[in-house]
Amino acid sequence: MKLADIIRPEHTFIGVSVSTKWRALQSLAEKAGKAFAVKEKTIVQALESRENLGSTGIGNGIAVPHAAIAGMTSPRGLLVRFAQPLDFEAIDDLPTDIAFLLLFGESNRGEYLNVLAAIARRLQSEGVLQSMHKSRNVDEFYSSFIGDSRP
C-alpha cells in the first residue's frame, strides 16, 4: 500500500481557513465530497459521529479525522494544512494545523488501520513534520509528506 495512492496531490490543500474543529470537519467534508463524489452531508455526519466518540487529534499538531462511508471501495484521503492552528481537542492539548482526512468503506476497516500506521511511520521520519510546517506551497507540502513513497 502506497500513501500516494490514497492521498493524491490534487487532494492536498494549504491555507484552509477555519475557526473551530467542527468548521474544519465541515470544510474537509466539502472538499472530500467533491473529490470522491460522495454527498457532503453523509461525510459530515460520519465524521461528527466518529469525533463524538473521542477526538481524532493525535498530537504534535496533527489530526486524523476518519469515518466509514457506505459504498466506498478503497481508502481515500485528503491532506490539509490550516491557515491558523485550531483547538482539535488533541491528546496533548496542542493546537492542530495539519489534518489527514481518511474515508474508507465499511468492509475495509482493516485497510484503514494500515493507512493510519503508514501515516504515523511517515510522520516519525526525521524532518518530515518540520518540512511540512515550513512548506510554502501545496507541491512542497505534499512532497514533504509523500517523500519517496510515490509509485
Q: Please give the single-letter amino acid code of residue 111.
A: E
Taking 70 as the threshold, does the pLDDT of residue 117 lie above it? yes
Q: What are phi and psi of 118, to 5 degrees?
A: -65, -40
Q: In the predicted model, what is the mean pLDDT of residues 123-137? A: 92
Taking 90 as the threshold, does the pLDDT of residue 23 lie above it? yes
pTM: predicted TM-score of the whole model, two decimal places: 0.92
Structural domain span for residue 28: 3-145
Residue 106 has what pLDDT?
A: 80
* Residue closest to 100 by CA, chosen among 119, 114, 74: 119
Residue 148 has what pLDDT?
A: 55
Q: Which of 11, 21, 31, 66 is catalytic?
A: 66
DSSP assignment letter at 122: H
**85 lies in some domain:** yes
Taking 50 as the threshold, does the pLDDT of residue 119 lie above it? yes
**150 lies in some domain:** no
**141 lies in some domain:** yes
pLDDT band at 56 (very low <50, low <70, confident <90, very high): very high
CB 46 within 8 A of CB 52: no
Q: Which range, of 39-48, 76-85, 100-109, averages the lowest pLDDT?
A: 100-109
**138 lies in some domain:** yes
Q: CATH code at 55?
A: 3.40.930.10
Known active-site residue 11: no
**151 lies in some domain:** no
Q: Which residue is it, cell 490543500?
A: 13
Residue 1 has what pLDDT?
A: 66
As a whole number of angstroms, the distance between CA 3 and CA 58 comes to: 19
**30 lies in some domain:** yes
Q: How many domains does the chain have?
A: 1
pLDDT greater at residue 32 or residue 73:
32
Taking 90 as the threshold, does the pLDDT of residue 55 lie above it? yes
